[in-house]
Amino acid sequence: MVRITKQEFKEMFNSKIYSIYAHSINEATNEQLQIVLSSVIKDIIAKYWVDNRLSTNKEVYYFSIEFLIGRQLKSNLLNLQIEEVIKEGLEDMGIDLDDLICAEKDPALGNGGLGRLAACFLDSMASLNISGHGYGIRYKYGLFEQKFINGYQVEVPDNWLLHEQYSWESIRPNKAVVVKFGGEVYLEEDNGRLKAKHHGYIPVMAMPYDIPIIGYDNDFINTLRLFKAEILNRDFGINTLYANTFTGSYEQALKYKYYTEEISQVLYPNDSNHAGKLLRLKQEYFLVSSGIQDIINKYRKNKFDILDFPKHIAIHINDTHPTLCIPELMRILLDEEGLSWEEAFDITKNTISYTNHTIMAEAMEKWPVDMMKELLPRIYMIIEEINKRYVEYLNHKYNDNEKIRRMSIICDNNINMANLSIIGSYSVNGVAKLHTEILKKEVLSDFYEDDPGKFNNKTNGIAHRRWLISCNEDLSNLITEHIGNIWKKDTEELKRLEDYKENRNFLKKLECIKIKNKTKLANFIAEEYGICINPESIYDVQIKRLHAYKRQLLNVLHILHLYHELLENPELDIVPRTFIFGAKAAPGYHLAKCIIKLINSVAEKINNDKSINNKIKVVFIENYGVSLAEKIIPSTDVSEQISTATKEASGTGNMKFMMNGAITLATLDGANVEIYDQVGEENIVIFGLKASQVLNYNKYGGYSSLDLYNSNFKIKRVVDDLVNGFIPNISKEGRVIYDSLITYNDEYFVLRDFENYIEAQSKIDTLYRDKEKWSKMCLINIANSGIFSSDRTISEYAKDIWFRGC
């Protein structure tokens, strides 16, 4: 049990502030005090962290190009169960803990769902005593900071590493490794065997920075190791390597510095578009090679037999960005460990497991053969050989050229990373039941038919510690007062809340907590944006990346519809609504940026129209990210999960809202289907096309948005708004959006689902009027959200994938 008295803490804090800043508390800024506090906490946990790193149990390594961990201070104090002592100790010194919590920079090392999921998984692995570590990249600049200027998104660099330092990290120079790019590979005779020799490569040093991942109330600490790309230092024989690759002039040296440092400079701001850039490929290999070398180095120290590798090590790849783990592990086993191809492939296949996170075609990574060959010659040779052997197997089994083309790794001069991931791993999973079914029956059906046992589903989950206990303390306390503490470690216990569904007193308390949270958010919005919103109104929230398939457009078209109804009849009896958006668009994603401009312009018009009596308000929160989500989610009434069925693999925001007692307004897509199964149809509002209908439309055609537009007055009215000047200052953007709906036949079925969505929204209005009934629905949502804890998800990964057969 991590123990610290108030007195000990104060002494540590005081001496730390002098040693870091050489001045007293009075002179320090909140940022400095937060850095001091993090440093003290690192000292407190040091012993446990070291012990854990020496573990010889089977270890899981989770490779991800993104980790969206959010602020760490509050969550670390919670997990260590020392929040009270620290709070009081700080108070004695005249410091408010909340100020320090807010002073922490949010490391935005991810875009969206995939990166945030990786962070929840780390939290759960540590909390479940699983030795599971993350490998990622320490990007100098995280996801861009979003500013709105005249309603347009403007991107500003996110300099989260101000002064080159992150308060929770510790640098580990003794664990640095070298990653090799370019050059040439020859097979040379070595002790009677052909061995690959790599010449003329460019060496890049991968410097590890470790962040502790603290388990909940269990003294268990794992590591998130992020690698920074640097020039080689003397320890790595800088002179000889320089001689190989650079002539040694100062200019060349600077070129080399740029080449290396560029690799961990910036996180690609694309949420689903595949960034077809050489630099991105360098980043992927840099991550993979650093991580795999690190694992092998530790493995060698433990002196286990290399043939037992899969007994001791599980490597999980989070989507295809770390897929090069497969050829990289092969490379080391073949070229450094001297194993045969068969032995090496057997080990690799039994070590690596893969999760697919999207079926969006543009996110399916493919790399040009020439690029791979030039940048990673040895890796390419290995991929080619894996492919050659696999195609031989397919030829033997199927004799069907079309099928073989679809299943090969290399086709049309491209390397298909999903195919490589499947072929080189023992487990492939989707992230919600529906998504996994679509993978099996549609997107990856050839592979499923070939090896059905490899496929499985692992429905996503969220760290309930961050997304309920920590971000909604009042709700968490209310729950504990009624059902005790066990739910914090076993969220299935939340089911016991159903005993209170007829208890008026409890329902009232639930309602009061929501109002309190809504008031807090209203104050924040008034302060930050100067918009006055009404805590008695329905808070209707859509916060996620901006993407056409997520259909923020459907939401805003409905707002316009409601606005017209109010203009026609100002007495219209609706419950006041506050529509809240938060979303970043990829900088090169034109349609998404046009939609941002549209929402901001609609907000401007509606918020300033006195004739509608404040019945609707629209707020677009700038620079949405983890910390803002923690503020918004506890105060939400309606959770908008309105993607085109089939397109959202799972969604995880939907789970966070549910756990905080919001009612989901959703299509039957991704994990919404499973939320529906948990709460039953009377506690969720469902609308729109089903997945099977969308798949049918896509296969056989049959929907014309133009016909619908011409035949439906309500649809025509809001679509025309885009181009007739009704909304000021959107002439260009409105046209782009109009064309996506009408000229290009509405790829995401926005208009097709519109009528149905209006009905669903009016059902929300009706339901909300009965406050007690609404509160009961909220309660049932909270009570049945336990299954969506990432502890459940991680237990399933552990049992079915990483430790199966152990």
Residues near ligand 8GP, by CB under 6 A: 111-114, 117, 271-272, 319, 357-358, 363, 431, 460, 648-652, 670
Give the integer Cα–Cα distance in Å for 35 and 646: 44
Three-state DSSP class for residue 415: strand
Give the integer Cα–Cα distance in Å for 349 and 497: 44
**Alpha helices (H) in 431-551, listed in sequence order:** 433-438, 445-450, 464, 473-483, 504-529
Known catalytic residue: 550? Answer: yes
Give the integer Cα–Cα distance in Å for 706 and 142: 41
Q: How far is the CB of 367 from ligand 8GP (least distance, A)?
A: 15
Known catalytic residue: 29? Answer: no
Residue 431 or 689 with smaller CB distance to ligand 8GP? 431
Q: What is the DSSP letter of 247?
A: -
Residue 280 or 564 with smaller CB distance to ligand 8GP? 280
Give the integer Cα–Cα distance in Å for 659 and 662: 7
Q: How far is the CB of 632 from ligand 8GP (least distance, A)?
A: 18
Give the integer Cα–Cα distance in Å for 368 and 383: 13
Which residue is at the shortest CB distance from ligand 8GP?
A: 113
Residue 585 amino acid letter: A
Residue 45 or 801 with smaller CB distance to ligand 8GP? 801
Q: How far is the CB of 616 from ligand 8GP (least distance, A)?
A: 29
Tell me which of 320, 578, 644, 652 is the catalytic residue: 652
Give the integer Cα–Cα distance in Å for 414 and 365: 10
Q: Which of 534, 510, 509 minimizes the C-alpha distance to 521?
A: 534
Three-state DSSP class for residue 554: helix
Crossing angle (nearest 10°) for helices 754-769 and 552-568: 70
Known catalytic residue: 545? Answer: yes
Q: How far is the CB of 684 from ligand 8GP (least distance, A)?
A: 18
What is the enclosing helix (H) or strand (E) of 298? helix 278-302
Residue 358 or 740 with smaller CB distance to ligand 8GP? 358
DSSP for 507-542 reads: HHHHHHHHHHHHHHHHHHHHHHH-----TTSEEEEE
DSSP for 661-681 reads: TPEEEE-S-TTHHHHHHHH-G
Q: How far is the CB of 596 from ligand 8GP (least distance, A)?
A: 19
Residue 500 or 749 with smaller CB distance to ligand 8GP? 749
Q: How many CA atoms lie within 13 A of 772 on its CB side?
A: 7
Tell me which of 180, 466, 514, 550 is the catalytic residue: 550
Tell me which of 545, 551, 647, 776 is the catalytic residue: 545
- Which residues, including other chains, have CB under 8 Å from residue 43's CB and lie 6 or more apart? 12, 16
Give the integer Cα–Cα distance in Å for 308 and 319: 26
Crossing angle (nearest 10°) for helices 504-529 and 473-483: 170
Tell me which of 558, 656, 752, 792 is the catalytic residue: 656
Residue 114 or 616 with smaller CB distance to ligand 8GP? 114
Residue 71 or 321 with smaller CB distance to ligand 8GP? 321
Residue 344 or 363 with smaller CB distance to ligand 8GP? 363
Question: What distances in angstroms separate CA 219 from CA 152, 198, 225, 583, one per listed residue?
Answer: 47, 44, 19, 37
Q: How far is the CB of 517 from ligand 8GP (least distance, A)?
A: 24
Residue 89 or 115 with smaller CB distance to ligand 8GP? 115
Known catalytic residue: 357? Answer: yes
What is the enclosing helix (H) or strand (E) of 100? helix 97-103
Q: How far is the CB of 190 from ligand 8GP (least distance, A)?
A: 40
Structure tokens at 741: 């709906």
Q: How far is the CB of 8 from ligand 8GP (least distance, A)?
A: 41
Residue 59 or 669 with smaller CB distance to ligand 8GP? 669
Q: How far is the CB of 204 from ligand 8GP (least distance, A)?
A: 23
Give the integer Cα–Cα distance in Å for 694 and 357: 19
Tell me which of 357, 464, 547, 558 is the catalytic residue: 357
Residue 254 or 279 with smaller CB distance to ligand 8GP? 279
- Which residues, including other chains, have CB under 8 Å from residue 299's CB and lie 6 or more apart? 306, 309, 312, 313
Question: What distances in angstroms separate CA 460 from CA 222, 306, 654, 792, one per listed residue?
Answer: 21, 33, 11, 9
Structure tokens at 708: 């619908």
Q: How far is the CB of 268 from ligand 8GP (least distance, A)?
A: 8
Known catalytic residue: 180? Answer: no
Cβ atoms of 374 and 182 closer than 8 Å:
yes
| Burial profile 340-378: b = 16 or more Cβ within 10 angstroms, e = fewer | eeeebbbbbbbbbbbbbbbbbeebbbbbebebbeebbbb
Q: How far is the CB of 317 from ligand 8GP (least distance, A)?
A: 13
Q: Which residues are catalytic?
A: 357, 544-545, 550, 652, 656
